Amino acid sequence: MINRQMVLKSHPHGIPLPSDFEMVEADVPNPGPGEMLVRNLYFSLEAAIRGWLDGKANYFEPIPLGGAIRGPSVARVVKSNVEGFEPGEIIFGLHHWEDYSLSDANTVLLSKLQPKDGIPLSYYSGGLGGSGHTAYVGLHEIGKIQAGDTVVVSAAAGATGSMACQIAKLRGCRVVGIVGSADKARLITEELGADAAVNYKHCDDLAAAISAACPEGVDVYFDNVGGRTLDAVLTCMNTFGRVIGCGMISDYNNQDNPTPIYNMWKLVEKELTLRGFLLYSYMDQVPAAMDQLHTWLEQGELKILENITEGLPNAGWAYSEMMKGATIGKNLVKVDSE
């Protein structure tokens, strides 16, 4: 049996191009003791992957040239030598962009999924997966949101941002989303319940625009982008405000020349807390997040936005589109042949 793999062909300069990736074929591996073979169904495209393409250690080892791209997937267990995992079960974990992966008890983000009837499996890669969990844990554990807080979310039409907007709204917060197009602004206010949107590409003075959209100041900022957006929001924060450091996508394509931050003095003046987090450090909180997200979804209070690309060979193209900021919601690749 053949295992198609999408590997790193060249280190991207700036935004990854489809040509930075290529398909190769390998044999399907045999699981050794303590391992299982899984069939990948959906890959979750993550901004964090960009950091692994540069050949430098990030919070994971870099992906070598010729190596399969590392990324989280929803997968079905095919053969298992791992206790507690049986063929046919559906799991989530950090695997590779390929038809079949080896997984084991130490796989990062590994969890067994119990998909509910009527809920698309793809949701477990996005709104009910890492993106939804990240939004939930970030807002509650890191941001300590309270009803009545003004919460600003950047990349608000993205996978995590679209969930963060809705969750904050469901918790009784006033929500302002920062986006990069008029379509996205309309989407988050009309479909996701955000109270206001700021289009960062259409304002001369971003801080003034955020300030105008947040007349009572900003209590919590869910930061997916870093850079000049973070710098602008810092000037709008209320005393004891919290910044949830979830991602800094504005610099992911340009890590050697990060955007400078000028307003760090606000940290002291406003007694702010800026706290970064990575979901895998908070896996103990995922079950509660999952329960709540399921409940909201069943009650019709949550919309899961997906952008599904069909076919493993198109994964590089799909990733490039996402990193350009051209997409809305959760970007997934559905593995085609089986």
Binding site for a copy of itself (CB under 8 A): 58-59, 226, 230, 240, 245-248, 251, 255, 258, 260-278, 281
Which CB atom, from 159 or from 272, has the smaller least distance to a copy of itself? 272
- What is the C-alpha separation between 69 and 191, in angstroms, rounded? 33
Q: Tell me the closest approach of the beta carbon of residue 238 to a copy of itself, in angstroms.
A: 12
Which CB atom, from 286 or from 297, has the smaller least distance to a copy of itself? 286
Q: Tell me the closest approach of the beta carbon of residue 7 to a copy of itself, in angstroms.
A: 25
Instruction: Determine how many CB atoms are found less than 10 A away from the CB of residue 239.
Output: 10
- What is the C-alpha separation between 221 and 101, in angstroms, rounded? 37
Give bridge partners of residue 199 from the DSSP assignment. 179
Which CB atom, from 273 or from 292, has the smaller least distance to a copy of itself? 273
Tell me the pairing of strands 273-276 and 237-245: parallel
- What is the C-alpha separation between 203 and 199, in angstroms, rounded? 7
Which CB atom, from 36 or from 274, has the smaller least distance to a copy of itself? 274
**Max Cα distance, the chain (Å):** 62
Residue 204 main-chain phi, psi, to 5 deg: -70, -35
Residue 56 main-chain phi, psi, to 5 deg: -125, 145
What is the rounded radius of gyration, in angstroms, for the C-alpha atoms of the chain?
A: 20
Q: Tell me the closest approach of the beta carbon of residue 235 to a copy of itself, in angstroms.
A: 11
- What is the C-alpha separation between 176 and 105, in angstroms, rounded? 40
Q: Tell me the closest approach of the beta carbon of residue 59 to a copy of itself, in angstroms.
A: 5
Which CB atom, from 201 or from 262, has the smaller least distance to a copy of itself? 262
Q: Tell me the closest approach of the beta carbon of residue 142 to a copy of itself, in angstroms.
A: 9
Q: Tell me the closest approach of the beta carbon of residue 282 to a copy of itself, in angstroms.
A: 10
Q: Tell me the closest approach of the beta carbon of residue 156 to a copy of itself, in angstroms.
A: 18
- What is the C-alpha separation between 55 and 76, in angstroms, rounded? 31
Give bridge partners of residue 4 from the DSSP assignment. 25
Which CB atom, from 151 or from 246, has the smaller least distance to a copy of itself? 246
Which CB atom, from 262 or from 298, has the smaller least distance to a copy of itself? 262
